[in-house]
Homo-oligomer: A and B are copies of this chain.
Amino acid sequence: MEKQYVIGVDLGGTKISTALAELNGNILSENTIPTNAKYGEEAVLSRIIYAIERILEVTGKKVDEIKAIGIGSPGPLDSKKGVIIETPNIPFKNFQLVRPIEDRFEIPTYLENDANAAAIGEFMFGAGKNTRNMVYITVSTGIGAGAIVEGRIYRGNTCNALELGHSTILPDGPRCNCGNYGCLEVLSSGTAIARVANEHLKAGADSSLKNYEVVTSYEVFQEAKKGDKLSLDVLNKCLQYLGIGIANIITIMDPEVVVLGGGVSLAGDIVFDRVNKVVGERCFKVLRENCRVVPAALGKQSGVVGSVALAIMESLEDK
């Protein structure tokens, strides 16, 4: 039977989103179920298998019509071996995720960290379409990234390349969760923006942010747009570091486009104007003139579209 569909699974700490799509990326059906992470790794595996069974049933497709399954998951993981090494919010520990799914469905199954999967999604169906060399960066609670090099996902030796969020931008900066100091993530993630704003508020700074009970990066962006000086100062500083991180990745990887996704990027011009200014100041002319920094196109769909794209890309490469 001709295999003309793929399945994408976006595995998260609280929910599993699954889609069945045509080979052009067109999604025919999608479902979302709770991960039930607290019941342990075998339970999560059963949930994934259940989600796949259900989407086959709903769409009336047969196992031998499916070309590949792509799974995007938090890492670190070993995509070559199909093993999740560890994740902060799901109970996997050196867990072989791919083999039992391949055994159950007899469909080639590919595992990739979620930032890489989202990068593939933006590359095939989003803001990176029609490029060959692209870097995707997601800035929300943390900072993740993935790169496409000559049309293929760039993994590195241990499958842990593009940990851009943990490159050092400020050697004597604040301590990051990873143990290092002055990582990009601890300087300019959404969490960092909120932390810096709250530190200033605690120290007695005057600001319209005082009117909120809880200040997250969302409130900082809102008040900055209304002209609040503290909010503007905080963003100015945090986004300068983000600009430096992006300038550094352009300097090292020389991509055609940097696609910026995640919650922070949704704030729009205020982010892109600042980042582009810093990139312009810090990059070689030939590099900055040939690389655009653009917003991601897939938004909240980036996870599940990324997993679908992963399945399509991998099954094409294996042919």
User: What residues make up the interface of A, taking CB atoms closer than 8 Å to B?
Assistant: 76, 85, 132-133, 149, 154-164, 166-171, 178, 180-181, 240-241, 244, 247-249, 251-256, 281-284, 286-287, 290-291
Given the known A-B contacts A149-B149, A178-B284, A180-B282, are A256 and B167 also in contact in the complex, defined by CB atoms under 8 Å? Answer: no
| List of B residues within 8 angstroms of A76 by Cβ | 284, 286
In whole angstroms, what is the CA distance A62 to B181 when docked?
A: 59
In whole angstroms, how far apart are the Cα atoms of A141 and B117 in the complex? 41
**Chain B's nearest CB lies how many Å from the CB of A4?**
30
Contacts A164-B252, A180-B281, A282-B180; A157 near B133 (Cβ below 8 A): yes
**Residues of B contacting A180 in the complex (Cβ-Cβ under 8 angstroms):** 281-283
Q: How far is the CB of A270 from chain B (nearest CB, A)?
A: 20
Please, which residue of chain B has its CB at the minimum distance from the CB of A281?
A: B180
> Which one, B163, B247, B290, contacts A252 given CB within 8 A?
B163
From A241, which residue of chain B is reached at the shortest CB distance?
B171
CA distance A162 to B249 in the complex (A): 9
- Least Cβ–Cβ distance between A144 and chain B, in angstroms: 12
The answer on a CB contact under 8 Å between B252 and A253 is yes
> Complex Cα distance A168/B242, Å?
12
B284 and A160 within 8 A (CB): yes
Q: A149-B149, A169-B168, A248-B167 are in contact. Are A254 and B157 (CB under 8 A)?
A: yes
Complex-state Cα separation, A255 to B157, whole angstroms: 5
In whole Å, how far is A65's beta carbon from the nearest beta carbon of chain B? 33
**Given the complex, which residues of B lie within 8 Å of A163, measured CB to CB?**
251-252, 254, 284, 287
The reply to whether A156 and B168 form a contact with Cβ atoms under 8 Å apart is: no
Q: A155-B254, A160-B287, A162-B252 are in contact. List 17 more A-B contacts (CB 8 A).
A: A76-B286, A85-B286, A149-B154, A156-B254, A160-B254, A161-B254, A162-B254, A163-B284, A166-B284, A167-B247, A168-B169, A168-B244, A169-B171, A171-B240, A248-B248, A249-B252, A252-B252
Q: Tell me the minimal C-beta distance from A150 to chain B in angstroms.
A: 9
Residues of B within 8 A of A181 (CB): 282
Residues in B neighbouring A253, C-beta threshold 8 A: 156, 161, 252
A282 to B168, CA, bound (A): 8
- Which residues of B are found within 8 Å of A162, using beta-carbon distances? 252, 254
Shortest Cβ distance from residue A16 to the other chain B in the assembled complex, whole angstroms? 25
- A245 → B minimal CB distance (Å): 9
Would you call A160 and B286 a contact (CB within 8 A)?
yes
Smallest beta-carbon distance A113→chain B, Å? 12
